[in-house]
Amino acid sequence: MQANKQAGFFLWEAILLSIVLLGMAAAAGMYMRAAQLQSVSAAEGRADYLARAQISYAQAVLDKEGRLPQRMGYLGDRQDLEQDGIMYNLSGEAAADDDGLWELQVEVSWEANGREGKQEYRRCLAVHK
C-alpha cells in the first residue's frame, strides 16, 4: 500500500511541475512580445518626430523662399535619421494649388527587429505673412 501512495505522489509532482513550466513558458512569451511591441512603438514615435520635424523645416523653407521643391529629402541633420541601430528613410513631395496652399506629403520608413514600418503624413502649408 505504501508503494501506491508514492506512485500517486509522483504523479502529482509531475503535473504540478508541468503546470509551473507551462506558466513560465507563457510568461517568457508574453515578455518577448512586450519587448517587441516596445521596440515597434519606439520606432513609430521616432518616425512621428522625424515627420513633424520635416514639416517644420518645410514650413521654414516656404516662409523664406515662398515655394517648396516638388521632391525633397530630409531637410534636417542626417544624424537624426539613425537612432538605436534603426535607419529611417524620409521623403517628401510638395504640390501647390491655386489658393496659394502647398500640400506636403511626408513618408517615413524604417526596419526594426526584422520588421518594416512605414507611415505617411499630409499637411497643408501656407506662407506666413
Q: Choose among 40, 54, 31, 45: nearest CA to 105.
A: 54
What's the confidence (pLDDT) of residue 41?
A: 74
116's grid cell? 518594416
Contact call for residues 102 and 126 (beta carbons, < 8 A): yes
pTM of the model: 0.69
Backbone angles phi, psi at 25, to 5 degrees: -65, -40
What's the confidence (pLDDT) of residue 7?
A: 61
- Each residue's pLDDT expressed in tens, for the chain with a length of 129 residues: 555 656 667 778 888 999 999 999 999 988 888 777 776 677 888 889 999 999 999 999 999 998 899 999 888 888 888 887 888 999 999 999 878 899 999 999 988 777 788 999 999 999 887
> Residue 112: helix, strand or coil by DSSP?
strand
End-to-end CA distance of the chain: 97
CA distance 11 to 13: 5
What's the confidence (pLDDT) of residue 5?
A: 59
What's the confidence (pLDDT) of residue 3?
A: 59
